[in-house]
Structure 1
Amino acid sequence: MARSRPRVWLVAACAAVLLWASVAQLVAVSRLLLFGIASDTDPSPPPTTLPPPRVYKSNGYLKISCNGGLNQMRSEICDMVAVARLLNLTMVVPELDKRSFWADQSNFGDIFDVRHFIDSLRDEVHIINQIPERLGEKDSDIILQMPPVSWSDEKYYLHQILPLFSKYSVIHFNKTDARLANNGISTELQLLRCRVNFHALKFTPQIEELGNKLVHKLQVKGSFVALHLRYEMDMLAFSGCNHGLSVEEAEELKKMRYAYPWWRDKEIDSQAKRSQGLCPLTPEETSLVLKALGFQKDALIYIAAGEIYGGEKRLEPLRTAFPKLVRKEMLLDSEVLRQFQNHSSQMAALDFIVSTASDVFIPTFDGNMAKLVEGHRRFLGFRRSMVLDRRKLVGLLDLYTNKTISWDSFASSVQETHKSRVAQPSCRQKLENKPKEEDYFYANPHECLANSSLCI
């Protein structure tokens, strides 16, 4: 009976979420007609006929250079389409980050379907492939390069940015991360952000095909969990989290942190960050948490992540606990994957497809991918996603590994902690003047979901 309790708990929690989701769908399903009703199946396919183009007098050209990884850039693109619509601008197809840690040289068209992006938004924003030659890419008299202010609202763009187009023909936003507020934005623009995210940003046919192939290979084996194990070298170096690492490994990561000037925090108290829940779980910690939550040894778990720091040796505790642990490199022929290797954003796109399609999604850190996938899964009918409470977990993990509490006490405490942490219909938490701490728009875009009328 003791072994059955976690499974019963997990089933009960998931059943409750499905009930809440069903009620929410019935309450406000009309809000989703713009996108196609959210359900636990694929969203409605876009219409075969193109929407009529929106006719408006353009105030100028907006060029954007995204920064960060794939999912951060994805949210930036959604934000900037909304800004272009607000200001009646002509938008240039976004430039992707090629200077970050990953040094991925992929262009927008290597990851997303450019024609679909342009055509599907033609009734909102005029999008072109490049700035007209007559304007000149480097003419400082007519092109202004600047980063917009972070977490800005519509008033900032209307009162501070729009007047600049009286002097400049082109404004180039050279940084676009988190430049539009989570809240206080008109419903029309919030819906447009969702439309870009859920429909306009469609992966290339090559990525879609391979991603769907991965999903099929997993589904024929049965239900599967997508585990976003955020334990790559860049994450650990940037965060300064070195719990469970050797002195040599911690020093290696510290040197990397100093090598990248845009990683502003250099001296970091790893222990303090971990106690605050600000570090990703280690593979060993993850194995204990999954077991405590009721996942059995025969669970099929797909690791949605890049190269794990420490390789297979560091994965050993997790693989021992869950032998059916798989990665895309194990499911696909090396020749098939070759075209995507050395392109971290394209590899991340494959993980994104698998993660949104999985039966359960569990991230070990709440980074951009975790948040964007959670938002997509909410849109697709509140597919089961579990948001781990790392702050409470590290305390419980330390008590268990120090043999202060028994396994049964640890497992029951983990389950109790996560009773209400399965993603469910809810309204974003708003914190005045604390945008980094409040709920992220793309993790819970409630304006675009069936529970929207409950959040007015």
Structure 2
Amino acid sequence: MDWSSIEGNREKKGPVTDLELLHHFGAHPHLVLLQGVERGRRRCSSTVKVSGARRACLLGFGSCNSCQYGGLPPRTLPCSTERSLAVNSINNVVTEDNALGWTLPSPQRKLPRRVYRSNGYLLLYCNGGLNQMRAGISDMVTIARHLNMTLVVPELDKRSFWADKSNFEDIFDVDHFIDSLRDEVKIIKNLPKKLIRDIDNKIVKVHSMPPVSWSNMAYYLKQILPLARKHKVVRFLKTDTRLANNGLPVELQKLRCRVNYDALKFNQQIEALGERLISILKKKTENFVALHLRYEMDMLAFSGCSHGCSEEEAEELTRKRYLVEWWKEKEIDPDERRLEGRCPLTPEETALILKALEFGRDTTIYIAAGTIYGGEKRMAALRDAYPNTVDKEMLLSPSDLEPIRSHSNQMAALDYLVSLASDVFVPTHDGNMAKVVEGHRRYNGFRKSIILDRKTLVEHLDLYQDGEISWDQFSNLVQQAHKDHMGQPKERKVIQGQPKVEDYFYANPQECLNHGRYL
């Protein structure tokens, strides 16, 4: 991989300027850089050189002196001088403008609380893994806001495949979640005590239900709002994909983004570990790739994919699929599924694809995944092709990971942070993490994400491994297939009546992006 292509094609020689870095590595798309910033701007000692640390500082990943990442626009830069208060028209966050023209968040001021008559309380039981729950919570906040309901801090899934017992506050900063949305919706940690007593005494009956998948706001206004007013408390038993990708008012789409990219901030413990991981990686190398290698038991069992597995392993995966009752599809042809492009790439296939995309042997690759099925035996080909392949277990000490090791969602949160900070993000399957991280990287300035066309790749891989095409032909075919799959600005594909097939909102939240600046 030619890393200069990531930084942009520069005709000018000499040091890279802050403005060039912001353009090529992704200042926040909502950030407005006023005229005259380039002229006479001050520099902090931490931002004099063009370095990974400086770039991380400018982009809001990692930290350097007084620079820190604040989630939503605008970002904080050091050297602030004169200040004036303002309210951001996009997200209503109280902000400050400094003499350099950057808009700065004001940490001392809380947003004004939105006052409204509540139509009832909304309880949530979020289902799925970390990123499925993250998207679901973003949808549910938006629904609560539209229905003028009071939201109770969500309950996270503890019964799924991962059996993670984490509560909301074990992963996210619960106070930040509540305070950062107070101008939109009232969020409380628990139901009022009197209401709990009324529920216990059966004076009030909680109405529990799973909302209909991919519903628009008309459904929630016509079907859910009357239930909320009648029962006072509504509990949603599922939160995944319960809101349509398209057809919502722009202000609600922007609220989905605000929740996902600002309000759902990880707690201090996870943020600190994430910063440590990113710092270690940046000390090892100027650039690194985050590889979401989704070759894990749950994905293989769920998808029915067993390419490269032994007969015993294939049988184990089938048994696991039948044991999980809420996985509806049981009889699956693994070869047919692979040819359809619906299987995660194997580690061996991934090594060939990365090489075909011209990532050099010295590229540092961070494995953003859990336990790879088949262990180190299955990782051998990838590690042989890329010796600088690392993961969180290799970079952090056992004592660092001990508090969260048995909590898969907290471990996944570390991978999420590293994936956001990586120079390139490559998922080998289009699951929830792949989609949500892709969208977050778009939101952070269209940072490069290589979205692999697995159906096309499987065809090319088989031709190459069968000796029907040469390596040069294979490499050229792979590169041509992905020249427009790098996370560039594009319109979200809408297919009426087929929400599962059309582009996912959180993979390309175009209503929240400023395409023009990057086209």
Question: Which AA in structure 2 matches 1:445?
Answer: P
Kept in 1, the 8 Å contact 2:30–2:514? The answer is: yes
SS in 1 for 2:207: strand
CA drift of 1:141 comes to 4.4
SS in 1 for 2:403: helix
Kept in 1, the 8 Å contact 2:340–2:455? The answer is: yes
Match of 2:133 among 61, 73, 84: 73
CA drift of 1:155 comes to 0.4
- Residue 247 of structure 2 corresponds to 184
Kept in 1, the 8 Å contact 2:207–2:235? The answer is: yes
For residues 517 and 212 of structure 2, the distance between their equivalents in structure 1, rounded to whole angstroms, comes to: 30
- Bigger drift between 445-454 and 268-277 goes to 445-454
Q: Could you tell me which runs of 5 or more consecutive residues in structure 2 were left unpaired when the two chains were aligned.
A: 10-18, 35-56, 61-70, 77-104
For residues 106 and 245 of structure 2, the distance between their equivalents in structure 1, rounded to whole angstroms, comes to: 29
SS in 1 for 2:496: coil
SS in 1 for 2:139: helix
For residues 195 and 31 of structure 2, the distance between their equivalents in structure 1, rounded to whole angstroms, comes to: 44
For residues 196 and 292 of structure 1, the distance between their equivalents in structure 2, rounded to whole angstroms, comes to: 38
Kept in 2, the 8 Å contact 1:14–1:384? The answer is: no
Question: Which AA in structure 1 matches 2:162?
Answer: W
Closer, same or farther in 2 for the Cα pair 1:40/1:429, shift >3 Å?
Answer: farther
Match of 1:94 among 140, 148, 154: 154
For residues 416 and 327 of structure 2, the distance between their equivalents in structure 1, rounded to whole angstroms, comes to: 25
Kept in 2, the 8 Å contact 1:446–1:452? The answer is: no
- Residue 235 of structure 2 corresponds to 172
Runs of 4+ in 1 over 3 A off after TM superposition: 10-16, 28-33, 137-141, 452-455
Kept in 1, the 8 Å contact 2:489–2:518? The answer is: no
Q: TM-score, normalised by structure 2?
A: 0.81
- Residue 292 of structure 1 corresponds to 356
Kept in 1, the 8 Å contact 2:195–2:204? The answer is: no
Kept in 2, the 8 Å contact 1:237–1:257? The answer is: yes
Kept in 1, the 8 Å contact 2:451–2:487? The answer is: yes
CA drift of 1:453 comes to 11
For residues 29 and 159 of structure 1, the distance between their equivalents in structure 2, rounded to whole angstroms, comes to: 34
For residues 237 and 409 of structure 1, the distance between their equivalents in structure 2, rounded to whole angstroms, comes to: 33
Q: Highest CA radius of gyration, 1 or 2? A: 2
Question: Which AA in structure 2 matches 1:333?
Answer: S
Match of 1:56 among 112, 116, 131: 116
Kept in 2, the 8 Å contact 1:111–1:346? The answer is: yes
Q: Could you tell me which runs of 5 or more consecutive residues in structure 1 were left unpaired when the two chains were aligned.
A: 1-6, 34-38
Identity of aligned residues (%): 59
Is 2:310 the partner of 1:251? no
Match of 1:380 among 441, 444, 463: 444
Number of positions where the alignment pairs a residue of Structure 1 with one of Structure 2: 443
Match of 1:121 among 181, 189, 196: 181
For residues 416 and 69 of structure 1, the distance between their equivalents in structure 2, rounded to whole angstroms, comes to: 34
SS in 2 for 1:302: strand
- Residue 410 of structure 1 corresponds to 474
- Residue 400 of structure 2 corresponds to 336
- Residue 483 of structure 2 corresponds to 419
Closer, same or farther in 2 for the Cα pair 1:388/1:204, shift >3 Å?
Answer: same
For residues 418 and 442 of structure 2, the distance between their equivalents in structure 1, rounded to whole angstroms, comes to: 15
For residues 70 and 32 of structure 1, the distance between their equivalents in structure 2, rounded to whole angstroms, comes to: 34
Match of 1:161 among 196, 204, 224: 224
SS in 2 for 1:145: strand
Match of 1:313 among 377, 381, 389: 377
Match of 2:59 among 37, 41, 47: 41
- Residue 302 of structure 1 corresponds to 366
- Residue 282 of structure 1 corresponds to 346
Higher relative contact order (CA 8 A, sep 6+): 1
- Bigger drift between 103-112 and 157-166 goes to 157-166
- Residue 215 of structure 2 corresponds to 152
Match of 2:280 among 196, 211, 217: 217
CA drift of 1:110 comes to 0.2
SS in 2 for 1:254: helix
- Bigger drift between 39-48 and 60-69 goes to 39-48
SS in 2 for 1:447: helix
CA drift of 1:87 comes to 0.3
CA drift of 1:165 comes to 2.2
- Residue 36 of structure 1 corresponds to none
- Residue 204 of structure 1 corresponds to 267
Closer, same or farther in 2 for the Cα pair 1:140/1:73, shift >3 Å?
Answer: farther
Question: Which AA in structure 2 matches 1:47?
Answer: S
Could you list the per-position Cα deviations for residues 230-280 of structure 1 after superposition, in whole angstroms to 9, with x for gaps in the alignment? 011000000000111111000000000000100000010111111111000
Could you list the per-position Cα deviations for residues 374-403 of structure 1 after superposition, in whole angstroms to 9, with x for gaps in the alignment? 111111111111100100000000011111
For residues 104 and 213 of structure 1, the distance between their equivalents in structure 2, rounded to whole angstroms, comes to: 24
- Residue 105 of structure 1 corresponds to 165
For residues 236 and 298 of structure 1, the distance between their equivalents in structure 2, rounded to whole angstroms, comes to: 29
